[in-house]
Amino acid sequence: MIKTQLIAVSIVNKVLSGSSLTGVLNECWQRHSTLSSQQKGAIQDFSYGVLRFYGQLNEILEILLRKSLQDKKIYYLLLISLYQLLYSKLPAYTVVNQTVSASRKLVNDKKIHGLVNAVLRNFLRQKNILLINATKKEVGFYSHPQWWIDKLRSQHPQHFQIILNADNKRPPMALRVNQRKISITAYQQLLSENGMESQLAWPYALLLKKPVSVEKLPGFNKGLVSVQDAGAQFAAPLLGVRHGMRVLDACAAPGGKSTHLLELADISLTILDNDKTRLAQVEQNLGRLQMSAHRIICADAADPDAWWDGKFFDRILADVPCSASGVVCRHPDIKWLRRESDLQKFAIQQQAILHALWQMLARNGKLLYVTCSVFIEENKLQIDQFLKLHSDARIEPLSESMLQEGQLLPDSEHDGFFYTLLHKF
C-alpha cells in the first residue's frame, strides 16, 4: 500500500497544481507499466476519492494541523490517509502505520514522521466532532469551491443541493446497445447470463448495477454495445437524422455521439475535431463498431474556411467545449481546476463555433447545441444571444419531456447536459 499511496501523492500534487486527472493518470500508467490491476485500482481510488472530497478532507486537516504545513507532499499524503480512514474498509491501524512508513520515503525528518502519526491518531480520537466542524463551512459540507456553490444556488435554487450531492457520488456505468446488431431486451438477457445485473434508464440506455471493465461486456469487441452516459444518449435521437442526410458532428471526439448517429441511420457523416490524439479514439470506436464516416477532419469548428467544402449539411451536432460542470462525478478534478472567469472564455468560444456552424447548415436544417454544463452562461444565455443575432433561427421543441428548457441536471443515473435544437428557416 505504501507504493500506491506515494504514487497517488504525486498524482494529487500534479492535479492540484493545474493538470487534468485523466492526463496525469495516463502518464502514470505509462511510467509505471508493471503495476498490477489491484495497485492501479487503489491508486485510482485514492486519487479520485481525495479530489471528490477535497473540500471536506482539507477542512478536517486544517483543523488538525492548526498551522500550515509547508511540505505539499506530506500534506497530500495526509489527505489520502484521511480519505482511507473515512471511506475505505481498511483497519485504521493499518492505514496509520502504512502512512507513517510512506512519510519516511518522502522526507528524512523524524519530526514530520511524528507529526503524521499524531495527526492521524488525533483524527481517530476526535473523528465525530471533526466531521461536524468540517461542515460548518460550505466548502467542507459540499466539497465544492465556494464560487461554484454560490452560482448553483443562484441559478438552480431548487436543485443546487441535489446537483452538489450528485457530483460527489461515484458515476454509474451506462451502456448504449447497438440496435443494428441486437435488441436491448436481448442484450439485457446476455448481460444476465454473464452475471451482470442491469436496468433500463430510458428506452435506449442500460445502467449496470455494478461497473465492470469493458473487456467483460459480452460482445463489446464485436460492436454490440458501447459505454456512454445515459444523459449523453439523448443527443443523437434529438437530432432526428434520416437515411441519406449529410450530417456534421463538430467537436466529435472521442466519438460516442458520432457512432450513435451511425447506428440510427445510413447517413453521410463528417466527423470534426481539433485534437489529433482524440480523433484516433474516434477511429478506434468506428473500427470496433464496424462503421465508417464520409470524412474525418482535424480542424477548428470555428474556422470553416480551413476545411469546409461549401456543401451544406442537413443536420449539425455541436457538442461544444465547455466547463464540463455537468460531469463532475466522472471528473472530480474539474471543480478544483475551473475558475469562475473560465465561463466567459468558454462562452466566447461557444458563440464563435455556433456562428461558424450556422453558415454551413442548409435551409430547413437543424443544429443541436449541446454542452455538458449546468451553468446558464454556457447554456440558456448562449442561445438567447444567438437568437438575437440570427433572425433565421428558431427553437424546436425537444421530444423528451424530461429535458425541461433543455437542461438535464445530474443525478444518480446520468450526468448533466444542456440541449437546444435550432431550426434554420
Active site residues: 372
Number of residues assigned to the chain:
425
| Cβ atoms of 79 and 72 closer than 8 Å | no
Q: How many CA atoms lie within 13 A of 347 on its CB side?
A: 17
How many other CB atoms sit within 10 Å of the CB of residue 34? 5
What's 136's DSSP letter?
A: T
Per DSSP bridges, beta strands 361-371 and 313-319 are parallel
Angstrom distance (rounded) from CA 318 to CA 273: 11
Nearest partner of 130 among 70, 62, 47, judged by Cα:
62
Angstrom distance (rounded) from CA 85 to CA 367: 49
DSSP3 helix / strand / coil % (the chain, rounded to 5):
50, 15, 35
| Cβ atoms of 361 and 313 closer than 8 Å | yes
Task: Name residue 202's beta-bridge partners.
Answer: 205
CA 407, 411, 414, 415 torsion-angle sign: positive
| Cβ atoms of 253 and 284 closer than 8 Å | no
Task: Name residue 173's beta-bridge partners.
Answer: 208
Angstrom distance (rounded) from CA 350 to CA 369: 10
Q: Name the burial class of residue 55, with classes exposed (0-12), middle (13-18) and buried (19+) by CB atoms within 10 angstroms of its CB.
A: buried
φ, ψ at 370 (rounded to 5°): -135, 135
φ, ψ at 189 (rounded to 5°): -65, -40
